[in-house]
Chain A
């Protein structure tokens, strides 16, 4: 105990390194608990409306680029791995390793954010932004109720507005044939031709939640990337050692949490509605 007082890494108000490290750990876990409550509110709202408007939310799900979503999931899980390796390097006191793995984690984080930019731009292009100018594009499977042009929607050949760069999409194929999908009709306002009528306002609600939930998540990632830069600076300045690498470890917890939030977001937003 008393020799720990001489550690240069010990803050003045702590008695020893163990107390300091336990305090940091408990603090970060509590912080993550409140983050869960924060996202929880959003998830709750999403759940309420999902139950209320299953068809519209399904349509919304289909409008998301599942390919990109899968890709991002892999990227983020990978970045959690590299982050864990960074913590491992810190444990072993390997400065070069810390820097290498932190940089790779940051790179993967930026890739994720880049993909989000791509997805968001596709939405902007198609006016699928909640607000005055929101438009949901009928793609032959989902038809906005009351849309005059689509009252005789069967056989309508309007090509689907595939999201930029999306891999071959069965929607596009079906719309081109103007035929209903081979999927089972979802319960809903099916006009008898395998086409589901949905309310534009309700899809707008989905898209609003999509932006809020992924946007909030992306914000946390941006903050994370910023924090990695800070950690890189500290590492370069030799601020860490085998006896003290708490900020890296705590950041690791944060990064894993952000990953886990995505693991929930992805199925809720991209997967559930699909058949």
Chain B
């Protein structure tokens, strides 16, 4: 299986320093824990009661000197920990002027990231090695938290405000991105990967887009996953969106009554204005992808959907539960909270 590790990879300029401080804390803790355990063991054995009739031990009230010693020493150690931690904390909170800015938006249950040149990603972040990166973040709904353990950085992402975190990646590789503040049903699945690449690879990634050697269907299939479509449109239990296998070219019943042909236009409309014509039996939760996909990408997705039109085959990611993102309904019609304080009505599952 995987090798057993105690520490996550150290992939940012902070990681080594944080780990060092962690080692210091651990050594101090081990010394005190083992010390106290050994003291208890020794004293317990040495002074164990040998008979019920033995006289009561001599009265020892205490020792002011000892009290001072074992107050001052821990206090000193505590201050060392405090200053060391505070110093490093300051560094972690002082964003360098040359940091490249990524705009991050958290929403239930996905991360939307945008690079300086406008390129967007969902749930994943590509960054170049050695370049300070600052994430300017906000939330569209509840409090989330942007956490990359291998970088040792974390920052809560709040609605109505912007918060920042920064890091300098120091190791090429793929790392975890987690949401670290409980945000609802699919909190555990709100995450993805951080890809640290060489600067030149990053540049080409930035310009690239889909690999030119892929066919439209293959490219579309990749997009279907990377844009998060697969999270809701799958054949698993309680999926938020209809399974799209075998859908293209068929008539679909609408929520508002009547039917519609699932053709190229309907697919595109569904991506741009999802609430407009929604299939009956599904909640109004699909977010809009306006501005997040190019026309070329829409065409690729349509190609993929055509390719699975004849099958009932499950999508590869269907085992997973789907997220609910009912709050996206809010984005589209600026509802005021109703008097029960509940902003949406759940469809019975």
B338 at the interface (CB under 8 A from A): yes
Within 8 A of A (CB), among B316-341: 336-339
- Provide the residues of chain B in CB contact with A132, threshold 8 Å: 336-339
A 146-169 binary contact with B (CB < 8 Å = 1; else 0): 000000000000000000000000
List 6 contacting pairs A-B, 8 Å CB cutoff, sorted by A: A131-B337, A131-B339, A132-B336, A132-B337, A132-B338, A132-B339
B 257-289 binary contact with A (CB < 8 Å = 1; else 0): 000000000000000000000000000000000
Which residue from chain A places its CB closest to the CB of B338 in the assembled complex? A132
Chain A residues bordering chain B, tally (CB within 8 A)? 2
A233 and B337 CA atoms in complex are apart in Å by: 47
- Provide the residues of chain A in CB contact with B336, threshold 8 Å: 132
A131 and B341 CA atoms in complex are apart in Å by: 9
A26 and B168 CA atoms in complex are apart in Å by: 60
A132 and B336 CA atoms in complex are apart in Å by: 6
A 107-140 binary contact with B (CB < 8 Å = 1; else 0): 0000000000000000000000001100000000
A 224-238 binary contact with B (CB < 8 Å = 1; else 0): 000000000000000
A131 and B337 CA atoms in complex are apart in Å by: 8
List chain A positions with a Cβ less than 8 A from chain B: 131-132
A132 and B337 CA atoms in complex are apart in Å by: 6
A137 and B193 CA atoms in complex are apart in Å by: 51
A131 and B339 CA atoms in complex are apart in Å by: 7
- Provide the residues of chain A in CB contact with B339, threshold 8 Å: 131-132
List chain B positions with a Cβ less than 8 A from chain A: 336-339
6 closest cross-chain pairs (CB), A and B: A132-B336, A131-B339, A132-B339, A132-B338, A132-B337, A131-B337
Give the distance to chain B from A244, nearest Cβ to Cβ, in Å: 45
Give the distance to chain A from B61, nearest Cβ to Cβ, in Å: 31
Give the distance to chain A from B158, nearest Cβ to Cβ, in Å: 15
A97 and B338 CA atoms in complex are apart in Å by: 52
- Provide the residues of chain A in CB contact with B338, threshold 8 Å: 132
- Provide the residues of chain B in CB contact with A131, threshold 8 Å: 337, 339
A131 and B338 CA atoms in complex are apart in Å by: 8
- Provide the residues of chain A in CB contact with B337, threshold 8 Å: 131-132
A132 and B340 CA atoms in complex are apart in Å by: 10
A132 and B343 CA atoms in complex are apart in Å by: 12
Which residue from chain B places its CB closest to the CB of A134 in the assembled complex? B336
Which residue from chain B places its CB closest to the CB of A131 in the assembled complex? B339
Which residue from chain A places its CB closest to the CB of B336 in the assembled complex? A132
Give the distance to chain B from A52, nearest Cβ to Cβ, in Å: 12
A132 and B339 CA atoms in complex are apart in Å by: 7
A132 and B338 CA atoms in complex are apart in Å by: 6
Which residue from chain A places its CB closest to the CB of B335 in the assembled complex? A132
Give the distance to chain A from B335, nearest Cβ to Cβ, in Å: 9
Give the distance to chain A from B91, nearest Cβ to Cβ, in Å: 30
Give the distance to chain A from B333, nearest Cβ to Cβ, in Å: 14
Give the distance to chain B from A56, nearest Cβ to Cβ, in Å: 16
Give the distance to chain B from A204, nearest Cβ to Cβ, in Å: 11
A38 and B336 CA atoms in complex are apart in Å by: 30
A131 and B340 CA atoms in complex are apart in Å by: 10
A214 and B339 CA atoms in complex are apart in Å by: 21
A47 and B338 CA atoms in complex are apart in Å by: 27
A131 and B273 CA atoms in complex are apart in Å by: 29
A40 and B337 CA atoms in complex are apart in Å by: 28
Give the distance to chain A from B160, nearest Cβ to Cβ, in Å: 11
Give the distance to chain B from A149, nearest Cβ to Cβ, in Å: 19
A173 and B338 CA atoms in complex are apart in Å by: 37
A48 and B336 CA atoms in complex are apart in Å by: 24
A46 and B339 CA atoms in complex are apart in Å by: 22
Give the distance to chain A from B206, nearest Cβ to Cβ, in Å: 39
Give the distance to chain B from A133, nearest Cβ to Cβ, in Å: 9
A192 and B338 CA atoms in complex are apart in Å by: 37
A126 and B336 CA atoms in complex are apart in Å by: 19
Give the distance to chain B from A13, nearest Cβ to Cβ, in Å: 34
Which residue from chain A places its CB closest to the CB of B337 in the assembled complex? A132
A132 and B342 CA atoms in complex are apart in Å by: 12
Give the distance to chain B from A37, nearest Cβ to Cβ, in Å: 26
Give the distance to chain B from A230, nearest Cβ to Cβ, in Å: 36
A131 and B336 CA atoms in complex are apart in Å by: 8
Which residue from chain B places its CB closest to the CB of A132 in the assembled complex? B336
Give the distance to chain B from A130, nearest Cβ to Cβ, in Å: 10
Give the distance to chain B from A259, nearest Cβ to Cβ, in Å: 34
